[in-house]
């Protein structure tokens, strides 16, 4: 792009004459013109880019917000895990501890302790829909989780207080594993290995070699110690409070074990065997409350770890057969 022709009035010659530029002036003019055009175009480009993608600070803020949203999603997963753990605690509290102690269960509605009412999280609506939803979910579930944990703490304090006031009663509760062997089959409908059909299995079967010592699972009085039908050699212990335990298929009774003898939790009462209608040596263990069989797995908590308890639950779910 060259210089345009400009004129001045020459008074001496009384006419307009063109202005003459030397080479240096022409180079400076052309360079200045291109620089100004470049600056203008760059400014226009930056303005257009800013309106489309945002300023550098806005871009950085959006990136930061995305990181925060991603972290909220991770937190949501952790809250869901905690929620499941609290549900498991509540179930065990009602179905195991409170049932065993004879305490009334806490209802589902009481444990939820919902707040209800207006949308207390409306302030989050200033964000985009996706972000607002996850913020509302997180805040709501955290608050609900805090309430339920508080209720569970109160429940555990009640259990502790009840235990302190009823230690004598609790010493009679069958609360330990009768033999050290692993559990083979659980409580409920099972396929009988000898009779070849499904029927109710009223207890737990524990693996045990013939002659393994059997321990009383709670304080009580020997109610029965003799042979009884398909049970083979059987010991029955009356623990009082409507609770009775049965130990079947024994090979022998410990010396001195007979009806009327008092036993303490942990005392050896007999030895495992293979008498009665069985597939092989093991111990069949039952708990009955007011004459009705109940799942002994709910009472195994004093001498097994949480991992062992979970394993026993899995065996009970998976194994469709019994040993007797």
- DSSP codes of every residue in 285-302: EEEEETTEEE-GGGG--S
| Average pLDDT, rounded, for the chain | 83
Is the pLDDT score of 5 beyond 70? no
Question: 267: which residues sit within 8 A by CB, 6+ positions away?
Answer: 215, 216
Q: pTM of the prediction?
A: 0.59
**316 near 187, Cβ under 8 Å?**
yes
Give the Cα separation of 58 and 65 in Å (integer). Answer: 10
* Rounded to 5°, angle at Cα 296 from 295 and 298: 80
Comparing 2-16, 169-183, 290-304, which segment has the lowest mean pLDDT? 2-16
pLDDT band at 258 (very low <50, low <70, confident <90, very high): very high
The residue ranges of DSSP E strands in 11-146, in sequence order, are 15-18
pLDDT band at 321 (very low <50, low <70, confident <90, very high): very high
- Residue 237: CB atoms within 10 Å: 27
Give the Cα separation of 100 and 171 in Å (integer). Answer: 12
Residue appearing with tokens 């304080």: 219
Is the pLDDT score of 81 beyond 80? yes
Chain segment 99-157, per-residue pLDDT in tens: 667 678 888 777 776 655 546 677 777 777 777 787 888 888 888 888 888 888 888 88
Q: What is the pLDDT of residue 123?
A: 75
Q: What is the pLDDT of residue 21?
A: 62
Length reported for the chain: 324
Query: Given 3.40.190.10, 3.90.1720.10, 3.30.930.10, 2.70.70.10, which CATH number is that of 183-318?
Result: 2.70.70.10
H or E segment at 22?
none
Q: Give the residue, 124 or 86, on which the prediction is more confident.
A: 86
143 three-class SS: helix
Q: What is the pLDDT of residue 120?
A: 65
Q: Which of 64-68, 290-294, 307-311 has the highest mean pLDDT?
A: 290-294
Give the Cα separation of 197 and 47 in Å (integer). Answer: 83
Phi-psi region at 185: left, alpha or beta (left = phi > 0; alpha = psi -120 to 50): beta
What are the sequence ranges of the domains in the chain? 7-53, 56-165, 183-318
Q: What is the pLDDT of residue 203?
A: 95
């Amino acid at each position: 792009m060259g210089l345009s022709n400009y004129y001045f009035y020459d008074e001496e010659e009384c006419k307009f004459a063109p202005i003459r530029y030397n080479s240096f002036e022409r180079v400076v003019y052309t360079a200045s013109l291109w620089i100004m055009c470049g600056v203008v175009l760059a400014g226009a480009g930056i303005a257009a880019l800013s309106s489309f993608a945002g300023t550098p600070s806005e871009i950085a803020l959006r990136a930061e917000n995305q990181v925060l949203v991603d972290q909220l999603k991770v937190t949501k997963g952790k809250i869901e895990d905690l929620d499941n753990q609290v549900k498991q605690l509540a179930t065990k509290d009602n179905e195991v501890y409170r049932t065993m102690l004879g305490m009334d269960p806490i209802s589902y509605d009481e444990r939820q302790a919902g707040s209800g009412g207006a949308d207390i999280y409306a302030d989050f609506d200033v964000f985009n829909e996706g972000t607002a939803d996850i913020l509302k979910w997180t805040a709501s579930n955290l608050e609900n989780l805090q309430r339920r944990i508080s209720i569970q703490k109160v429940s555990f304090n009640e259990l502790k207080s009840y235990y302190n006031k009823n230690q004598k009663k609790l010493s009679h509760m069958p609360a330990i594993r009768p033999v050290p062997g692993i559990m083979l089959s659980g409580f409920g409908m099972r396929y009988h290995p000898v009779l070849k059909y499904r029927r109710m299995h009223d207890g737990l079967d524990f693996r045990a070699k013939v002659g393994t010592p059997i321990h009383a699972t709670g304080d009580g009085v020997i109610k029965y110690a003799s042979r009884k039908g398909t049970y083979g050699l059987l010991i029955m212990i009356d623990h009082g409070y409507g609770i009775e335990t049965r130990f079947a298929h024994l090979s022998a009774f410990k010396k001195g074990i007979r009806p009327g003898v008092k036993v303490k939790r942990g005392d050896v009462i007999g030895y495992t065997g293979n008498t009665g209608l069985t597939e092989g040596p093991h111990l069949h263990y039952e708990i009955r409350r007011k004459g009705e069989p109940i799942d002994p797995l709910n009472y195994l908590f004093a001498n097994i770890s949480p991992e062992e308890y979970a394993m026993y639950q899995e065996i009970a779910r998976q194994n469709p057969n019994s040993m007797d």
